Amino acid sequence: MNIKYTRVVDKLPSLVPFVGPEAQERSMEKIFNARIGANESVFGPSLKAISAMEKEINHTWKYADPENYDLKLALANKHNVNFDNIIVGEGIDGLLGYLVRLLVEKGDNVVTTDGAYPTFNYHVEGFGGVLHKIPFKNDTEDLEKLLSKAKETSAKILYVSNPNNPMGTINSTLSIKKLIDNLPKKTLLCLDEAYADFVSLDLIPEISTNTPNVIRMRTFSKAYGMAGARVGYGIGAKELILNFEKIRNHFGMSRISQVGALASLEDFEFINNVVLKVRLSLEKIAKIAVYNNCRVLPSHTNFIAIDCCKDVDFAKRVLDNLILQGVFVRMPYSNPQNRCIRVTAGLDEDIKLFEQAFPIALKKSE
Amino acid sequence: MNIKYTRVVDKLPSLVPFVGPEAQERSMEKIFNARIGANESVFGPSLKAISAMEKEINHTWKYADPENYDLKLALANKHNVNFDNIIVGEGIDGLLGYLVRLLVEKGDNVVTTDGAYPTFNYHVEGFGGVLHKIPFKNDTEDLEKLLSKAKETSAKILYVSNPNNPMGTINSTLSIKKLIDNLPKKTLLCLDEAYADFVSLDLIPEISTNTPNVIRMRTFSKAYGMAGARVGYGIGAKELILNFEKIRNHFGMSRISQVGALASLEDFEFINNVVLKVRLSLEKIAKIAVYNNCRVLPSHTNFIAIDCCKDVDFAKRVLDNLILQGVFVRMPYSNPQNRCIRVTAGLDEDIKLFEQAFPIALKKSE
């Protein structure tokens, strides 16, 4: 080999953070009948977004506005913050990459929960950071231990998802505020709130944008039903947000996506309707789980963790069998969370397929 | 300030590589009448792409296939290379960022042409690389001097755009082959061929994908008329391509864009038609330039550099006046290339507006 990669890249494994359902479909040589595994929103985008995207196709020969001006303005209004408290990027995935790049050098410490979002870990390792993982406590992120680990390691970033993925649980606003108050000054809290739109407002902490070491991440991939459009954003202190401008791919956004996201913000009824549909769907999934002698975790998201009440090998067999039956679901990575499978809210026909497949999967896994 | 950014980020300026026309429109408080400045294709995407994108809007709730499988397969077929010789990313801009990240550490040397693509330079500086810039020679990239500078500095990357932006000139296939044959083993040649679709095949060098230290970059932003969709790709040796997997944002692609790009590859007539329209449009622009006592450079792209035959201050005044008249154009950065303005092929109505505005701009700039 002649080309010399950077020292960090040279040591990276060739692993990818996620395998997509399309790859599974290709290897099975069949299409999933129910796609309820990636916490996408099968309820789709707002009709206003759809109409705006349709119209914008004629303008896709133009680069998108690199400043994301209109979208940032609308988001600033929505969250009652200033324009320069908002950074828009290619999904939370893209923003997490930028954030890690801003802060993490080779050997820097980063703290997260064991079993939390793999793409965050992927970025940390991709920039040479050292991950410290704290186990879930009762299937909830253990803020106290996360904080002490951040202190102990002088972590550059502490990653907390709230509500969290893959368990669907939430930490109280009080505990989040306490965490922020006690954060080491050199640690940035990355609060991943991808699922915040499913949560009633009183469960979301108020955080002043004067707080220099907190960024909250939001997305159009979940409640807004636009995962394929790749629009995420961060809310944070002006100085932090400004630093993204130094490194981000200014022309990274799709023009159609930008316009779709903006239009969906103008559809005030939309989110309430989705949240209702999701709640009803999750109730049905929960009923099916309980009917089959499983338990469910309380969910504050658009998915639900079903505790199969046995060990990881059993849950893995259940998962594999569901996939074999054409039902795409996923499961947590960490132990003992991997006693569960994770099912995303679906349409009635998706849930019906799950209802048929689940008892078969349980039985075949015994 | 409490948060400590990386040493590289800490020293980065807050400059952005480009200002978009939308920002200019906002500051002028009016919309451009002719958008012929960013080398976008006003002729738009293939009708097949448009139709495919329209249909895909209903599926935008799903993440895109992170492997870009179908698109990669189609591109491999198109270029008669293997599937694993192709990397798809968020425009060439995104891929350039990944490439630099793979290879450039703080202090590493990189060679480019003075006045070549600013976004490449932005990424190099963004990862702490040191740029060495070689002047154009007769408005063409000076491959001999670029090569000797790469040797002299043990450059990690040598960036060559062919045909080049912003001058529109091309280097011979023979000279490119000679460059590759003499490349230092530790230098990767990044051959940016964004405009290759406008060039007849015999002017494009054949490069074996066994060549370990060359990557060619292509895009759907130019001839394919999908700049707003953000789809670019690289063609290179398997090992190099595999390394992108370690760091790229696997879920960075828009699903609608993916599908649009794929569909446009299936429209065999499309590119020929666009190339013809572009040629006719550039001929009209050239005539207007000559009529107004300017000269034009030979163009192998979808834009043309008009030599205003005076100095940079004059050209800058001409540019500013065109913008004032609602005609969006740009100009080269380096001297003496900045004696020119750069005009992109347009529709007849765009060219008519330019025809009216240009003599006024020239006169007011005297």
| A79 within some domain | yes
Note whether A212 and A239 are within 8 A (CB).
yes
The predicted-structure confidence for B281-292, as pLDDT tens digits, reads as follows: 999 999 999 999
| B317 within some domain | yes
Encoded tokens for B178 = 């000679």
Q: Which of B267, B284, B317 is the last residue of a domain?
A: B267
Residue A260 and residue A155 share a domain: yes
Residue B254 and residue B135 share a domain: yes
pLDDT at A95: 98
pLDDT at A17: 78
Percent of chain A with pLDDT over 70: 100
Report CB contact under 8 Å: B63, A69. Answer: no
Residue B243 and residue B122 share a domain: yes
pLDDT at A2: 78
Report CB contact under 8 Å: A230, B69. Answer: no
Q: Which of B17, B188, B226 sits opposite A60 (nearest CB)?
A: B226
Give which of B132, B125, B140 is closest to B111, Cα–Cα: B132
| A101 within some domain | yes
Report CB contact under 8 Å: A228, B67. Answer: no
Q: Which residues of B touch A58 (CB under 8 A)?
A: 44, 50
Give which of B85, B84, B54, B362 is closest to B208, Cα–Cα: B85
Encoded tokens for B212 = 């370990």
Q: Which of A17, A45, A228 sits opposite B64 (nearest CB)?
A: A228
pLDDT at B16: 77
Residue A254 and residue A206 share a domain: yes
pLDDT at A14: 80
At A184, which CATH number?
A: 3.40.640.10
| A220 within some domain | yes
Residue B256 and residue B119 share a domain: yes
Q: What is the mean pLDDT of residues B164-191?
A: 97
Residue B273 and residue B262 share a domain: no
Residue A325 and residue A313 share a domain: yes
Residue B356 and residue B262 share a domain: no
Residue B276: phi, psi to the nearest 5? -65, -45
Q: Which residues of B touch A186 (CB under 8 A)?
A: 2-4
Report CB contact under 8 Å: A22, B239. Answer: no
Torsion, Cα of B283, B289, B291, B296 (10° steps): -80
Percent of chain A with pLDDT over 90: 97
Note whether A306 and A340 are within 8 A (CB).
yes
Encoded tokens for A141 = 């992120």
Q: Which of B12, B14, B102 sits opposite A9 (nearest CB)?
A: B102
CA distance B13 to chain A (A): 7
Q: Which of B69, B103, B249 sits opposite A93 (nearest CB)?
A: B249
Residues, chain A, total? Answer: 366
Torsion, Cα of B207, B210, B211, B214 (10° steps): 70
Note whether B188 and B239 are within 8 A (CB).
no
SS3 for chain B, per residue? CCCCCCHHHHCCCCCCCCCCHHHHHHHHCCCCCEECCCCCCCCCCCHHHHHHHHHHHHHCCCCCCCCCHHHHHHHHHHHCCCHHHEEEECHHHHHHHHHHHHHCCCCCEEEEECCCCHHHHHHHHHCCCEEEEECCECCECCHHHHHHHHHHHCCCEEEEECCCCCCCCCCCHHHHHHHHHHCCCCCEEEEECCCHHHCCHHHCCCCCCCCCCEEEEEECCCCCCCHHHCCEEEEECHHHHHHHCCCCCCCCCCHHHHHHHHHHHCCHHHHHHHHHHHHHHHHHHHHHHHHCCCEECCCCCCEEEEECCCCHHHHHHHHHHHHHCCEECECCCCCCHHHEEEEECCCHHHHHHHHHHHHHHHHHCC
User: Which candidate in B41, B63, B68, B88 is best for mutational testing of the A interface (most A CBs within 10 A)?
Assistant: B63
B85 has a pLDDT exceeding 80 = yes
Q: Which of A235, A267, A299 is the last residue of a domain?
A: A267
Other Cβ atoms within 10 Å of B13 Cβ, number: 8
Residue-number span of the structural domain to which B224 is assigned: 49-267
At B301, which CATH number?
A: 3.90.1150.10
B126 has a pLDDT exceeding 70 = yes
Q: What is the mean pLDDT of residues B61-68?
A: 98
Q: Which of B20, B67, B229 sits opposite A67 (nearest CB)?
A: B20
A12 has a pLDDT exceeding 60 = yes
| B2 within some domain | no
| B123 within some domain | yes
Residue A227 and residue A96 share a domain: yes
Nearest-Cα residue of chain B relative to residue A246: B14
B3 has a pLDDT exceeding 90 = no
Residue A293 and residue A169 share a domain: no
pLDDT band at A226 (very low <50, low <70, confident <90, very high): very high
Report CB contact under 8 Å: B42, A61. Answer: yes
Residue A235 and residue A155 share a domain: yes
A211 has a pLDDT exceeding 70 = yes
Q: Which of A63, A65, A90 sits opposite B249 (nearest CB)?
A: A90
Buried b (16+ CB within 10 A) or exposed e, A66-76: bbbbbbbebbb
Report CB contact under 8 Å: A60, B225. Answer: yes
B33 has a pLDDT exceeding 80 = yes
A72 has a pLDDT exceeding 80 = yes
Q: What is the mean pLDDT of residues B151-177?
A: 98
Give the rounded distance of the alpha carbon of B317 from its chain centre: 25
pLDDT band at B2 (very low <50, low <70, confident <90, very high): confident
CA distance A191 to chain B (A): 16
| Contact partners, residue A148, CB within 8 Å, separation at least 6 | none
CA distance A19 to chain B (A): 8
Report CB contact under 8 Å: B63, A101. Answer: no
pLDDT band at B14 (very low <50, low <70, confident <90, very high): confident
Residue B252 and residue B274 share a domain: no
Overall domain count for chain B:
2
Average pLDDT value for chain B:
97
Residue where the block lists tokens 């870990």: A121
pLDDT at B15: 76
Nearest-Cα residue of chain B relative to residue A26: B69
Distance between CA atoms of residues B327 and B347, nearest Å: 13
Q: Which of B267, B287, B305 is the last residue of a domain?
A: B267
Q: Which residues of A touch B7 (CB under 8 A)?
A: 105
Encoded tokens for B306 = 């008009």
Report CB contact under 8 Å: B227, A50. Answer: no
A91 has a pLDDT exceeding 90 = yes
Q: Which of B61, B63, B254 sits opposite A45 (nearest CB)?
A: B61
Report CB contact under 8 Å: B257, A253. Answer: no
pLDDT at A127: 98
A86 has a pLDDT exceeding 90 = yes
| A81 within some domain | yes
pLDDT at A268: 87
Distance between CA atoms of residues A297 and A300, nearest Å: 10
Note whether B71 and B234 are within 8 A (CB).
no
pLDDT at A364: 97
SS3 for chain A, per residue? CCCCCCHHHHCCCCCCCCCCHHHHHHHHCCCCCEECCCCCCCCCCCHHHHHHHHHHHHHCCCCCCCCCHHHHHHHHHHHCCCHHHEEEECHHHHHHHHHHHHHCCCCCEEEEECCCCHHHHHHHHHCCCEEEEECCECCECCHHHHHHHHHHHCCCEEEEECCCCCCCCCCCHHHHHHHHHHCCCCCEEEEECCCHHHCCHHHCCCCCCCCCCEEEEEECCCCCCCHHHCCEEEEECHHHHHHHCCCCCCCCCCHHHHHHHHHHHCCHHHHHHHHHHHHHHHHHHHHHHHHCCCEECCCCCCEEEEECCCCHHHHHHHHHHHHHCCEECECCCCCCHHHEEEEECCCHHHHHHHHHHHHHHHHHCC
pLDDT band at B199 (very low <50, low <70, confident <90, very high): very high
Average pLDDT value for chain A:
97
Q: Which of B7, B23, B257 sits opposite A105 (nearest CB)?
A: B7
B1 has a pLDDT exceeding 70 = no
Residue where the block lists tokens 């779709």: A260
Report CB contact under 8 Å: B63, A227. Answer: yes
pLDDT at B18: 82
Q: What angle do CA B20, B17, B240 make, to 5 degrees?
A: 120
Q: What is the mean pLDDT of residues A196-225?
A: 97
The predicted-structure confidence for B214-271, as pLDDT tens digits, reads as follows: 999 999 999 999 999 999 999 999 999 999 999 999 999 999 999 999 999 999 899 9
Give which of B289, B291, B318 is closest to B306, Cα–Cα: B289
pLDDT at A199: 96
Q: What is the mean pLDDT of residues A348-355?
A: 98
User: Which candidate in B57, B158, B259 is best for mutational testing of the A interface (most A CBs within 10 A)?
Assistant: B57
Across the A:B interface, residue pairs with CB atoms under 8 Å apart total 258
Distance between CA atoms of residues A228 and B66, nearest Å: 10
| B1 within some domain | no
Q: Which residues of A touch B5 (CB under 8 A)?
A: 102-103, 243
